[in-house]
Amino acid sequence: MEEKQTSVFANYSAMVAIGAVLTLAGFVLGFGAEGAVNVVMVLGMLLVIVGYLRRIARALER
């Protein structure tokens, strides 16, 4: 039987959505700001990219 993952990022759509929210928040807060806000934006973009890559890898497995 397949084990169910219980982490927040087990669902790829949730991972992409969280990444999109972080990216948007970093973009909105990033006007005239530097440092931590840019890190939030980059983290959000990475979550979106990794979410889509995991979704593609999962589709190729089947």
Give pLDDT tens digits for 7-40.
656 677 888 888 888 888 877 777 656 666 777 7
Largest CA distance in the chain: 52
Residue at 4 is within a domain: no
In a domain, 26, yes or no: yes
Q: Has residue 2 been placed in a domain?
A: no
Q: Is residue 3 domain-resident?
A: no
Question: CA 62 to CA 46: how far, in whole Å?
Answer: 25
Extract the tokens encoding 18.
């969280």
Please indicate, yes or no, if residue 33 is contained in any of the structural domains: yes
Print the domain residue range for 17.
Answer: 9-61
In this predicted structure, what is the pLDDT of residue 1?
42
pTM for this structure? 0.64
How many domains, in total, are found in the chain? Answer: 1
Residue 55 lies in a domain: yes
* Residue 1, in any domain of the structure: no
Q: What is the pLDDT of residues 38-57, one digit of tens each?
A: 777 888 888 888 888 888 88
